[in-house]
């Protein structure tokens, strides 16, 4: 069924609002994937907090004109789906895991924090630790010096008490010996 002019305009507006402003997106060629596999991929992406959307190239190219995603203009050829999420690492992990199971998935390119990347770099991003893991490591590193300082400060009175106890024992031993 052919799209009417109003349908096309609505799609362009949707692409402008949904896809045009995203800082993290990956373009995927979905040719050779059956409907069940696409449904499974959508579910996995949705579970990771992302969105999967099959786009019409001509219309999306109009919608992203002058926006960061416009740098990926050459990638919008053939069957194209856009996946986007706040966490690019989590999304890249989901996509690469799915691509291992379904080799028909091909990465065309992407955008991470507004910077364009190639399809091969999607796999490199998937090897990075997730945002939560990085935050946990940062918190540990920030907490470590404070913890050591607290232990050091707690050790001073403890050692002072140990020294006083040894002096008291030494005095009682001296008084018993005399």
Mean pLDDT value across residues 144-164 = 76
Q: What are the boundaries of each domain within the chain?
A: 5-128, 130-178
Per-residue pLDDT, 95: 92
pTM: 0.70
pLDDT higher at 98 or 2: 98
Residue 38 sits at the vertex; the CA angle it makes with 36 and 42, to the nearest 5 degrees, is: 120
Mean pLDDT score of the chain: 86
- Classify domain 5-128 at the CATH topology level: Alpha-Beta Plaits (3.30.70)
Exposed, middle or buried: residue 73 (CB in 10 Å: 0-12, 13-18, 19+)?
middle
Q: Say how far apart CA 77 and CA 60 lie, in whole Å.
A: 11
**pLDDT > 90? residue 18:** no
Q: Say how far apart CA 31 and CA 18 lie, in whole Å.
A: 23
pLDDT higher at 141 or 36: 36
Per-residue pLDDT, 140: 81
Exposed, middle or buried: residue 106 (CB in 10 Å: 0-12, 13-18, 19+)?
middle
Q: Say how far apart CA 66 and CA 70 lie, in whole Å.
A: 6
pLDDT tens by residue, 89-118: 889 999 999 999 988 888 999 999 888 998
Percentage with pLDDT > 90 across the chain: 28
């Amino acid at each position: 069924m052919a799209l009417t002019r109003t349908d096309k305009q609505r799609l362009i507006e949707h692409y402008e609002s949904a896809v045009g402003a995203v800082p993290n997106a990956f373009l995927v060629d979905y040719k050779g994937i059956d409907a069940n596999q696409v449904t499974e991929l959508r579910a996995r992406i949705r579970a990771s907090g992302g969105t999967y959307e099959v786009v019409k190239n001509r219309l999306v190219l109009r919608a992203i004109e002058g926006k960061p995603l416009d740098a990926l203009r050459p990638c919008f050829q053939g069957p194209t789906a856009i996946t986007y999420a706040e966490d690019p690492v989590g999304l890249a992990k989901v996509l690469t895991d799915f691509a291992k199971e379904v080799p028909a998935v091909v990465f065309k390119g992407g955008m991470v924090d507004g910077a364009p990347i190639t399809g091969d770099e999607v796999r490199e991003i998937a090897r990075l630790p997730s945002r939560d893991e990085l935050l946990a490591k940062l918190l540990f590193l920030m907490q470590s010096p404070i913890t050591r300082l607290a232990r050091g400060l707690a050790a001073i009175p403890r050692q002072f008490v140990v020294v006083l106890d040894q002096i008291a024992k030494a005095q009682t031993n001296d008084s018993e010996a005399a």
